[in-house]
Structure 1
Amino acid sequence: MMTILNGVGASTGRALGAARLIHGPDEFSRFQAGDVLVCRTTDPAWTPLFGMASAVVTETGGMLSHAAIVAREFGIPAVLGVRDALDLLTEGAPLAIDGAQGTVTLMGGK
């Protein structure tokens, strides 16, 4: 079973990676290259993670948010405004991100 979550496709492209649920800067050290950054929102302090992320998923934001702008600059897919993403996704779960369609697919379901 695959679960699909929807949001705003804010930076195009597709990516696969493990969900890394990050609640704040004190958890940045858990993030590894190729992970999908899943968080509530981002600000400039989060920018270094974009250089390592395969994609970004946030619970808030839209086309002009920090996450959208920085994801486009780094050329990685971003799906924003995914309601309750931190609750619906599981740490380490394999995700397929489609930044053009605005979808987050949990491979295998939850």
Structure 2
Amino acid sequence: MGPRHDQAPEQLVGRGASQGTAMGRAVVVRGADDFPKVQIGDILVCEVTAPSWTPLFEIAAGIVTERGGVLSHAAIVARELGLPAIVGVEGLVGTIVDGQVLTIDGTTGVVLL
């Protein structure tokens, strides 16, 4: 989906993949070298996740990915763990910076910057 022209510039829209809301510090993770940056309560921001990323889900407050759908790894594991998750947010990784405070709504797919 990605940002729409009629929406406020302080929000991004993707697909709600796991219901619930969370607010926390954004941590952009591009690969395993970035795993140590993620702390309890952070919002995990990435292009896509894989099974090796699952331990991060146990400490994150929520997940937002640039790619994927409701059957992606991020969506399925987030639902299993009861974490809010949004997938398919076009341009996400290039827009969000580490430390930025985000509020995510996994039901509506809205990321508030």
TM-score (normalised: structure 1): 0.93
Q: Please tell me whether residue 76 in structure 1 is matched to residue 83 in structure 2.
A: yes
Show the 5 A alignment for 1:2-81.
3-81=10-88
CA-CA distance at 1:76 after TM superposition: 0.6
> Does structure 2 conserve the Cα–Cα contact (< 8 Å) formed by 1:18 and 1:36?
yes
Q: Distance in 1 between matches of 2:52 and 2:33?
A: 11
Cα offset for 1:33?
Answer: 0.5
Question: TM-score, structure 2 length as denominator?
Answer: 0.91
Local SS of the residue matching 1:82: coil
Shift of 1:14: 0.3
Instruction: Count how many residue pairs are aligned between Structure 1 and Structure 2.
Output: 106
| Deviating 4+ runs (over 4 angstroms) | none
Structure 1 residue 2, shift from structure 2 partner: 6.5
Residue-by-residue CA offset, 1:37-91 (whole Å, 9 max, x unaligned): 0000001000000000100000000110000000001101001000111111121
Q: CA RMSD in A?
A: 1.1
What is the DSSP-based 3-state SS (H/G/I as helix, E as strand, rest coil) of the residue aligned with 1:63? coil
Q: Which runs of 5+ in 2 are unaligned?
A: 1-7
Tell me if the contact between 1:20 and 1:36 (Cα under 8 Å) persists in the aligned partners.
yes
Please name the residue that 2:102 is paired with: 95
